[in-house]
Amino acid sequence: MAHRGKMKSGTITPRDSHFSIKVRLQETRERFSVPGCSHHMKMAELKEKLELVAGIPIHLQRLSYIDEGDMPDSSTFKFNAIIHGGTVCLSIWSREGWSDLVKAAAGGNLAELKCLGVTTGCSYNTENSLRFSVKQRDEWIAARASVALYIAAHRGYLDIISFLLKNGADVLAKTKLGNSPLHVASAMGKCDCVDELLANGAKTQDVNENGHTALGLAKLWGQKKVERHLFQFQWRERAAAVSVNTHLDPSELFAHQKFDSKLKTWRSGSYAKRYMANLVQYKEF
The per-residue pLDDT of the chain, averaged, comes to 87
Measure Cα distances from 5 to 10, 37, 82, 115, 125 in Å. 10, 17, 17, 54, 55
Q: Give residue 40's pLDDT.
A: 96
What is the distance between the alpha carbons of residues 129 and 217, in angstroms, rounded to a whole number?
36
Q: Give residue 238's pLDDT.
A: 84
Q: Give residue 121's pLDDT.
A: 87
For the chain, domain boundaries: 17-93, 94-170, 171-241, 253-284
Measured from the Cβ of residue 132, the count of other Cβ atoms closer than 10 Å reads 15
Topology of domain 171-241, CATH: 1.25.40
Q: Give residue 270's pLDDT.
A: 65
DSSP-assigned letters across all residues of 229-248: HHHHHHHHHHHHT----SS-
Helix (H) / strand (E) element for 30: namely: strand 30-37
Closest CA relative to residue 175, chosen from 42, 59, 62, 47:
59
Contact 34, 50 (CB under 8 A): yes
pLDDT in tens, 188-235: 999 999 999 999 999 999 999 999 999 999 999 999 999 999 999 998
Topology of domain 17-93, CATH: Ubiquitin-like (UB roll) (3.10.20)
What is the distance between the alpha carbons of residues 278 and 273, in angstroms, rounded to a whole number?
9
73 burial (CB, 10 Å; 0-12 / 13-18 / 19+) is middle
